[in-house]
Amino acid sequence: MKVLISDKLSEAGIEKLTHANGIQVDVKTGLSPSELKEIIGEYDGIIIRSATHLSEDVLEAARNLKVIGRAGIGLDNVDIPAATRKGIVVMNTPQGNNIAAAEHTISMMLAMARKIPQATASLKAGKWEKNRFMGVQVYHKILGIIGIGNIGGIVADRALGLKMRVIAYDPFISEEKAKEMGVELVSHLDDLFSRADFITVHTPLIKETRNLINKDAFEKMKDGVMIINCARGGIINERDLYDAIVSGKVAGAALDVFEVEPAKDNPLFDLDQVIVTPHLGASTREAQRNVASAIADQVIAFLLNRTIQNAVNVPAVSPEVMERIGPYLDLAENLGGFLAQVCTFRIEEVDIEFHGEMFEKDTEPIVLATLKGLLAPVMGDDVNFVNAKVMAQQRRIKVRETKVEDTGDYTTLIVLRIKGQDREESIWGTLFGKKEPRIVRYNDFIIEAIPQGEIILVENYDRPGVIGNIGMTLGKKGINIATMQFGRDKMGGQAISLLHLDAPLNDEIINELLTLPNLISVKPIRL
Ligand code: NAD
Ligand code: MLT
């Protein structure tokens, strides 16, 4: 497996990748989009920070790419929907640099409040301007946090330590959670704007948060408010911020991120009230070691062991969860693959029934594996774990998942039903022991077969001689039958046989089998 590191990454991560058996790593930084496009096709994985832009156009050329690893948090430089459509897992390291970013936010707030960068520049220029740099205290001031997730939460904790009062706006956080953090949650952003002495943003940059703080917002704020942005450029409208500072509404701004980066000739740099750093939020030795090491582990684990951590476009499957559900992923994929290869109608609905306590949680990956199995016989390698759901939606296939406590005769059971054009097929599967997959029922036939390998499904009338005839025909063609299982609805009624073969059947042999007496159909299945 080949992995490209296309942005500067701490040695801790490079070393891990270099020493991973089965991984070959190339470090090529500073590539232009066209240079990246030219080489990306060779790679199974790519590790980036914020400089590499993975647009739809670049991803189009990434024919082998399975995983994008972002050493850091923000993914605004990756076209995630395009990656998902192509079946590429996108993962980041949400915990690695959050303390660094929160500490930077607090540092920027205090530096702004006490005008430390301006005073440093003045003193170094040979001046002693004690009266010029009058600051404000943060003690008992109100800090308004917009977005109280990982970093916002740590900022709140540190600000409470400074004896600030913290209010927050975040529509996705419960009041209970906010209370636990010692924070007052406000239900309208305007409330936060009108009450806060300092305002800091910690949301992702998305459609809803672009220009979240603009001219209208500044008008609602207290006179002399101070603003901090250590999240993403674009959440605060820079033009409106400039005007609000010049008008005296905003007393100071501390910015680590900008609408255009690298930021050069930004008009805000001309204002004395503005202090800036060049996107340094995550720039601590600890954070860079953390994110590099974490993303290396995650990419290696995904490419070599299928475990998924911190993915943003597919459910997580940690090593512990994989240990537990791994065999069910294979079972589900093969149940899907089985039905897809025997079904003769267009699938409109998929029902997946999970029986047993084991399925109380973590069933989402099993659903994806089932859909992958169902779609792969038609779509081949274009469908995978990541895009299976999108592909099913695009084909207007309704997917329903139900959980049932009762397991009947089995400890666990997965029942897969597909429906379409007034027809239905179903298959039941379980594990014997902890790892041995078995089909235990196909439509109305009770059977016990391993869902793996070259199989033929024979439907026949339950009459003497049928199996003997099949064996003789295959024997004459030199095809060995490895195992055979039978099921029938009633004596003399209809029956099925599942035969595992040592070689696949061609059309000629299938047609010959179909001339045998009492045979209804012969369907080859490869799992
Ligand atoms: P997170 O996902 O843990 O938290 C984001 C929070 O924003 C969530 O709680 C979410 O509910 C909330 N949110 C989303 N939309 C919102 C809206 N419209 N209004 C209010 N709240 C909203 O993310 P995080 O790890 O805390 O990262 C926050 C930001 O910091 C991201 O933009 C990330 O890219 C950036 N970041 C910057 C640096 C840096 O170097 N300056 C370092 C790390 C992270
Ligand atoms: C992040 O999103 O992790 C930060 O902005 C830091 C970085 O870009 O590396």
Bridge partners, 498 (sequence order): 457, 485
Per-residue pLDDT tens over the stretch 231-245: 999 999 999 999 999
State how far the Cα of 11 lies from the Cα of 292, in Å rounded to an integer. 8
Q: How close is the Cα of 163 to the center of ligand 1, in Å?
A: 23
Helix (H, G, I), strand (E, B) or coil at 65: coil
State the ligand closest to the CA atom of 173.
1
Q: How close is the Cα of 338 to the center of ligand 1, in Å?
A: 43
Range of the domain at 329: 315-448
Q: What is the CA radius of gyration of the chain?
A: 30
320 and 270 share a domain? no
4 and 21 share a domain? yes
Give the mean pLDDT of 207-214: 94
The pLDDT, as a whole number, for residue 435 is 86
Active site residue 286: no
224 and 307 share a domain? no
Q: End-to-end alpha-carbon separation of the chain, Å? A: 24
Q: How close is the Cα of 206 to the center of ligand 1, in Å?
A: 10
25 and 119 share a domain? no
Query: From the CB of residue 182, how many other CB atoms can be counted at a distance below 10 Å?
Result: 12
Domain CATH number, residue 83:
3.40.50.720
Domain CATH number, residue 483:
3.30.70.260
β-pairing, 142-146 vs 198-201, is parallel
109 and 190 share a domain? yes
pLDDT band at 208 (very low <50, low <70, confident <90, very high): confident
The one-letter code for the residue type at 478 is: G
Helix (H, G, I), strand (E, B) or coil at 252: strand
Q: How close is the Cα of 149 to the center of ligand 1, in Å?
A: 6
The pLDDT, as a whole number, for residue 322 is 83
300 and 399 share a domain? no
Share of the chain above pLDDT 90, in %: 83
Beta carbon of 73 within 6 Å of any ligand 2 atom = yes
Helix (H, G, I), strand (E, B) or coil at 313: coil
Domain's final residue, options 419, 448, 477: 448
β-pairing, 274-276 vs 349-355, is unpaired
Q: 55 φ, ψ to 5°?
A: -85, 170
Query: From the CB of residue 343, how many other CB atoms can be counted at a distance below 10 Å?
Result: 18
404 and 497 share a domain? no
430 and 323 share a domain? yes
Q: Considering the chain, what is the average pLDDT of its residues?
A: 94
Helix (H, G, I), strand (E, B) or coil at 250: strand
Bridge partners, 446 (sequence order): 441
Active site residue 355: no
* Contact criterion met (CB below 8 Å) for 96 and 294: yes
Token reading at 237: 């409208």
The DSSP-derived string for 34-49 is HHHHHHGGG-SEEEE-
State the ligand closest to the CA atom of 71.
2
Residues with a CB atom less than 6 Å from ligand 1: 73-74, 94, 97-98, 101, 146-152, 169-173, 202-205, 208-209, 230-232, 256-257, 279, 281-282
247 secondary structure, DSSP code: T
320 and 225 share a domain? no
Task: Classify residue 265 by burial, with Cβ atoms within 10 Å: 0-12, 13-18, 19+.
Answer: exposed
Length of the chain: 527
Per-residue pLDDT tens over the stretch 342-400: 998 999 999 999 999 889 888 999 999 999 999 999 888 788 888 999 999 989 999 99
* pTM, entire model: 0.79
206 and 146 share a domain? yes
Per-residue pLDDT tens over the stretch 66-94: 999 999 999 999 999 899 988 899 999 98
Domain's final residue, options 429, 448, 467: 448
Among the options 49, 158, 279, 441, which is catalytic?
279
Domain CATH number, residue 369:
3.30.1330.90
**Which atom from ligand 1 is nearest to the alpha carbon of 206?**
15
**Which atom from ligand 2 is nearest to the alpha carbon of 93?**
3
Closest CA to 407 of 359, 361, 356, 441: 356
508 and 480 share a domain? yes
216 and 302 share a domain? no
Number of separate domains in the chain: 4
How many helices and strands, by DSSP H and E, does the chain display? 17, 22
**Which atom from ligand 1 is nearest to the alpha carbon of 232?**
32
User: From atom 6 of ligand 2, which residue's Cα is the shortest distance away?
Assistant: 282
**Which atom from ligand 2 is nearest to the alpha carbon of 282?**
6
The DSSP-derived string for 152-163 is HHHHHHHHHHTT
